[in-house]
Amino acid sequence: MQINDKSGITEYVADSKRYDTMKYNRCGKSGVLLPAISLGLWHNFGFIDNQHTAREILRTAFDLGITHFDLANNYGPPYGSAEENFGMLFKKDFKSYRDELFIASKAGFDMWPGPYGNMGSRKYLMASIDQSLTRMGLDYVDIFYHHRPDPDTPLEETMVALADIVRQGKALYVGISNYQPKETEEAAALLKELRVPFVLHQARYSIFDRWVEDGLLDTLEDNGVGCIAFSPLAQGMLTNKYVNGIPDDSRAAKSLTYLDREQVENNLGKIKNLAALAEERGQKLSQMAIAWLLSRPAITSVLVGASSASQLKENVKALDNLAFTDEEMKVINANS
């Protein structure tokens, strides 16, 4: 919702009904409730992107009851720019709503030159959280993740750094991302010993990418940790975009962002079958793909990206039909 003040400047006032229709799920055995659909700022929020569009997406998200905004130190491009732009928009539109928001950042991938600019050392993580808070203009983030495991740094060093970030008041909770089951189990044991609230694992998960079902989801359940799924649409394969082939202006045609023509061609038959099932359910393929994830008991929230407010609204409509019959599940399993 927007109103104009006397100077003609558009002021944002959140929709008073924003919590009426969004579904909220508990993160494992914590006190955190996340919206079933969360907004990821991996793409479309960097310096190269349209800031008016980014602002409209954020406003629309919150009006829809999406309280969780997910960032990382290296989101952009360039690195850091998504956090900086978010900080600018937060100050303009969301500062008065801070206590309603659950804001995430991460560190673990390449960020600055030299030996201390990525992975999982204490030095890198401590510098990263300070930089992220400065860029966003925040006193704290609600959750700070280690973005990927570091095979060369002792896991204890990484987990103690996360614990100290919480104790310093720079994050309320900690999470990890892209960790395998064994690494997750070890991290959970360390954080439990440190008495630090470990509430979320962020993992890539979709109908076409089900690696988390091979032990990770069981590990999270055993440790009372929630799971938030990213890349739910398999970089766009699980949308209606590719049902009739590969458009010239598509990501796959240009081999951009982890998707190439060969991947789509290899899955084209499955995409057509899944799209037909989605149509029978009265959904777009993207909506069914999100709904399928949310039908999994272990999934707390699904992270979606959006290039426009209308696309975000379309994704949220997945919540209108989250039930699947046994026959529908058979079709999905046969085409995953």
The verdict on residue 90 lying in a domain is yes
The verdict on residue 187 lying in a domain is yes
Rounded Cα distance, 289 and 293, in Å: 7
Per-residue confidence (pLDDT) for residue 3, from 0 to 100: 47
Per-residue confidence (pLDDT) for residue 308, from 0 to 100: 97
Per-residue confidence (pLDDT) for residue 283, from 0 to 100: 98
Rounded Cα distance, 41 and 71, in Å: 6
The verdict on residue 123 lying in a domain is yes
Per-residue confidence (pLDDT) for residue 6, from 0 to 100: 47
First to last CA, the chain: 40
CATH number at residue 192: 3.20.20.100
Per-residue confidence (pLDDT) for residue 43, from 0 to 100: 94
The verdict on residue 135 lying in a domain is yes
Q: DSSP for 235-264? A: GGTTSGGGTTS--TTSTTTTT-TT--HHHH
Q: Are 127 and 118 in contact (CB under 8 A)?
A: no
Residue 182 half-sphere exposure toward CB, CA atoms < 13 A: 1
Per-residue confidence (pLDDT) for residue 253, from 0 to 100: 62
The verdict on residue 76 lying in a domain is yes
The verdict on residue 201 lying in a domain is yes
The verdict on residue 129 lying in a domain is yes
The parent domain of residue 69 ranges over 23-241+286-321
Mean pLDDT by 10 residues, the chain (336 residues): 52 97 97 98 97 98 98 98 98 98 98 97 98 98 98 98 98 98 98 98 98 98 98 94 76 66 88 97 98 97 97 98 98 98
**Rounded (5°) CA angle 319-322-324:** 160
Q: How far is CA 33 from CA 50, 105, 236, in A?
A: 31, 17, 28
> DSSP E strands: which ranges in 87-225?
102-107, 141-146, 171-177, 198-204
**How many structural domains is the chain composed of?**
1
Per-residue confidence (pLDDT) for residue 7, from 0 to 100: 43
Q: Give Cβ neighbours of residue 299 (< 8 Å, ≥ 6 apart).
A: 25, 205, 227, 228, 229, 293
Per-residue confidence (pLDDT) for residue 2, from 0 to 100: 55
The verdict on residue 93 lying in a domain is yes
Collapsing DSSP states into helix, strand and coil, what is residue 62? Answer: helix
